[in-house]
Chains A and B, each alone.
Chain A
Amino acid sequence: MNDLRVLASILRVGVVVAFALALAGTFVPGPVGIAAAVACIAVLVTAPVLRVGWLTVDWIRDGDRWFALLGGALLLVLATGAVVALR
């Protein structure tokens, strides 16, 4: 089983990166600031999706097939959402 502490560490890095981008998006003027703000939003959107992906892989490795299937189904719903949003 993957150690949840590893996932926690990865998410902690995500928090720091998102915060740095948010600061840049707030205080840096012009296109750079806008790009930082958009990148910050991208981090916030992708972080929970990657977390679900991590869990799904973890459950597959554990042989927890039912929940791995549910994790895959959730990723499918999220992918559908992305397709609808970007259409």
Chain B
Amino acid sequence: MNPVELAFAALVTATLGSLGGLGGAVLLVPVLVVAGVEPRLAAPLGLISVAAGSLAAAPRQLTDRVVNHRIGVSLEIAASAAALVGAVVSGVVSERLLSVVLGVVALAAAVVGARRKGMRNKPDPALSAADLGERPGTLAGVYPLDDGFVPYQAKRVPLGLLGMGAAGLIAGLSGVSGGFIKTPVTTEVMHVPVKVAAATTTFTVGITSAVALLVFASQGRVVPSDAALVAGASLVGGVIGARLQSVLSPPVVRLVLAGLLAVVGVVLLVRA
């Protein structure tokens, strides 16, 4: 894969990843593998893309008050610990097995993305701009939607923690960010609105990626020049994705992503 193709792939996947709150690695890593990059080298590049996209999307999402840091930090403890375990053992996992894991993960993400539902929480006319943001001491808050303000409360937290552990393990093992598991778990299991879940996941995948990247770097699996190229393109993609997130309909984005993931998953499984 030449540098222009690599930069373009990183730009597009980071844009889509930030847009849907799925991270970008689940798209970028399979694309790199299909293009001939070794999975053990593609995985760190995927995490660099996620970390860059997460950082780039943060300023806008903070300003929009759609991130719930309390939910993110609570769930990320399980995800980061599991990511650490996954990254440590990933060096001994065969490339064929890694391709199979990535293929299954991509297909699973496609199914989850396609099956996700619409709005569960409705705007409350009694709320105002003064109520926006997180509620201290709780896993609840209020986020803006069009001209209204929507209250929410995270539910079934233990089950959510379990899902985050699985997401973290996959992140460390395969080099994808786990965001495609985190966002559905946060919305469907914990009943957090998809916009908040996507922004919060974009925050937490940056943390998971940081932990796993340290391990990959210590294993000599990060190529600086390729990493810089991917980081630069993904920073641009993250900014674009965060802007698009606030204007496009989430169901449309999810369906497009699901289609992409299904194709990538089938290609990887056939190749493996």
Interface on A for B, CB 8 Å cutoff?
4-5, 7-9, 11-12, 14-15, 18-19, 21-26, 33-34, 36-38, 40-41, 43-49, 51-52, 55, 59, 62, 64, 66-67, 70-71, 73-74, 77-78, 80-82, 84-87
Contact = CB atoms under 8 A, between A and B. Distances in A.
Given A12-B59, A82-B214, A77 B80 contact: yes
A3 to B, nearest CB: 10
Contacts of B69: 55
Chain A contact residues: helix, strand, loop or mixed: helix
Interface in B208-254: 209-211, 213-215, 217-218, 222, 224-225, 227-229, 231-232, 235-236, 239
Given A5-B62, A11-B58, A78-B210, 17 more contacts: A15-B59, A15-B235, A18-B231, A25-B229, A26-B225, A37-B225, A41-B48, A41-B217, A41-B224, A44-B213, A48-B206, A67-B70, A74-B77, A74-B207, A77-B81, A80-B84, A85-B214
A44 B214 contact: no
B231 A8 contact: no
A74 B203 contact: no
Interface of B: 3, 48, 51-52, 54-56, 58-60, 62-63, 65, 69-70, 73-74, 76-77, 80-81, 83-84, 88, 133, 136-137, 203, 206-207, 209-211, 213-215, 217-218, 222, 224-225, 227-229, 231-232, 235-236, 239
A52 B225 CA distance: 28
Contacts, number: 161
Chain B contact residues: helix, strand, loop or mixed: helix
Contact of A25 (B54, B70, B225, B235): B225
